[in-house]
Amino acid sequence: MHKRVWVAIVLTFLLLCALAGSLLLVFITPFLFDDPYSADLTATWAMAGAVLSAPLMCLAAIAGVWIAAFPTGRSRWWYAALALPALSALIFLVAGSLRSGFF
């Protein structure tokens, strides 16, 4: 097998682990709204959206890895799909820093 296929297999395994972790975080998302006034904060909704979109971002990254593994005639922009789960984490961290008392 080609080196790209082995890299795609390893990245798929790592992204599946991230997918499992993000699914666990989805189950605890309602706890973001424990504070009586947290539903009024935009930062809380942004954090909830980032957590809920993380599994979808992991699935899109897995698809991007396999499309990038066979680049015959395809663009290299599919490598950017690896950054999608990190984008959810970045949105969560930025929104959490805007929410007072969270971090």
CB distance 15 to 61 below 8 Å: yes
9 — pLDDT class (breaks 50, 70, 90): very high
DSSP structure string for 26-38: HHTGGGGG-STTG
Q: pTM value?
A: 0.82
Residue 53, domain member (yes or no): yes
Residues 29 and 51: their CA atoms lie apart, in Å, by: 7
Rounded CA-CA distance 22/27 in Å is 9
Residue 76 lies in a domain: yes
pLDDT of residue 69: 80
Q: Which tokens is 90 given?
A: 């970045």
| Model pLDDT for residues 51-65, shown as the tens digit of each residue | 999 999 999 999 888
Per-residue pLDDT tens digits for 12-61: 999 999 999 999 999 999 998 888 888 888 888 999 999 999 999 999 99
64 within a domain of the structure (yes/no): yes
Q: Which residues of 66-86 are buried (b: 16+ CB within 10 A; e: fewer)?
A: bbbbeeeeeeeebeebbebbe
Q: Which of 18-27, 46-55, 67-76, 93-102 has the lowest mean pLDDT?
A: 67-76
| Residue 12 included in any domain | yes
| Residue at 11 is within a domain | yes
Q: What is the pLDDT of residue 68?
A: 81
The pLDDT of residue 73: 56
Domain containing 62: what range?
3-29+39-98
- Residue 98's pLDDT is 83
Classify residue 16: in a domain, yes or no: yes
Number of domains present in the structure of the chain? 1
Q: What is the pLDDT of residue 20?
A: 95
Answer yes or no: is 103 within a domain.
no
Per the domain annotation, does 34 fall within a domain? no
